[in-house]
Amino acid sequence: MVPREGSGRSVGPAYASRLVEFATGQWQPEAAAERCESLRRAMRCLERLAKEAGSAGKQ
């Protein structure tokens, strides 16, 4: 998401706020996961971890 070190490219002052704006207002992770297998696997893994953490917290 950020330029590779040594690339000579810089990150502007509004980079973080624009990224947050995109992630919270426009990006649709479920739709993206339909087209991206690695994202789909990552989301499944996170869901499983969250479920396990929730189960552990109830004990």
- Express each pLDDT in 3-59 by its tens digit: 888 898 888 889 889 989 999 999 999 999 999 999 999 999 999 999 999 988 776
State residue 11's pLDDT score.
84
Separation of alpha carbons 56 and 59, rounded Å: 6
Per-domain boundaries in the chain: 29-59
State residue 59's pLDDT score.
66
What's the pTM value of the predicted model, to 2 decimals?
Answer: 0.65
State residue 50's pLDDT score.
96
Q: What angle do CA 37, 35, 16 make, to 5 degrees?
A: 90
Which candidate, 3, 1, 47, 36, places its Cα nearest to that of 20? Answer: 1
Residue 2: pLDDT over 70: yes
